[in-house]
Copies of this chain bind each other. A is one copy, B any other.
Amino acid sequence: MEGDNNVVMDGASEAPVSSRWNPTKEQISMLESLYRQGIRTPSAEQIQQITSRLRVYGHIEGKNVFYWFQNHKARQRQKQKQESMDYINRYFHTTPPLFPPPCPNVLGGPYYLPHNDVGFYPQYQHSKVLLPSGIRGRPRTEKLEKPRALDGAAYNSAHQGYGILQGKTGKPSIGSSAENSTTTTPSSSEIEEGSGNYQPFFDFFSGQGSCESD
């Protein structure tokens, strides 16, 4: 806690004299704009200028700008990494003898949340998995056009390479459609439970109750 926080609670209300910078909407907009302009690590000069400009909208210091860019960049990267991993899972674990580790492990199981009942704060798993730089060896799928009657353009394009979607004809003969058979959790009968309400724990994929089922 830097005691040197002269927070100018602009306005008048009893703003909680926060010890840390509270960017205003305008400031964020501008910073994001700059980021989009390609700025990643602004030079000292740039930081100064940015700070000066942004100060018009509220208290701000150079370090705030500096940190903002650092954090923003880092987060974008993390996000990207996470997505990459997601991609890998999609691509490889087509044969998951063992799905996700039995415990809150990031490796392989990005679909678990630390806390259930979450409607807010889409936190990220923040996996520490290091993946090669080029996981995204895209199979180079031709970009086909979609006039206006696509069965899910996004979905289609998103999973095109995997042959998941057939959409049309309602005949999802997706390659190895080996799911409806039994897949997992065959022993339980929670699924059919949905006669009305009560949706307990729907574990489609892993027949394990995990290590911390609450």
Contact = CB atoms under 8 A, between A and B. Distances in A.
Interface of A: 1, 8, 10-13, 15, 20, 22-26, 28-30, 32-34, 36-53, 55-63, 65-67, 70-73, 75-77, 79-80, 83, 86, 89-96, 98-99, 101-102, 105, 107, 109-113, 115-125, 127, 129, 131, 135-140, 142, 146-148, 150-152, 154-156, 158-159, 162, 164-168, 170, 172, 174-180, 183-184, 191-192, 194-205, 209, 212, 214
Given A49-B183, A79-B121, A86 B43 contact: yes
Contact of A203 (B37, B45, B118, B124): B37
Contacts of A178: 43, 45-46
A47 to B, nearest CB: 5
19 contacts: A8-B98, A11-B96, A26-B194, A32-B122, A32-B199, A41-B146, A44-B174, A48-B179, A49-B180, A52-B177, A53-B191, A53-B200, A53-B204, A57-B101, A59-B170, A62-B172, A63-B165, A72-B122, A75-B121
Given A40-B142, A165-B63, A174 B48 contact: yes
B75 A24 contact: no
A86 to B, nearest CB: 7
The winner among A10, A76, A113, A154 for most chain B CB atoms within 10 A is A113
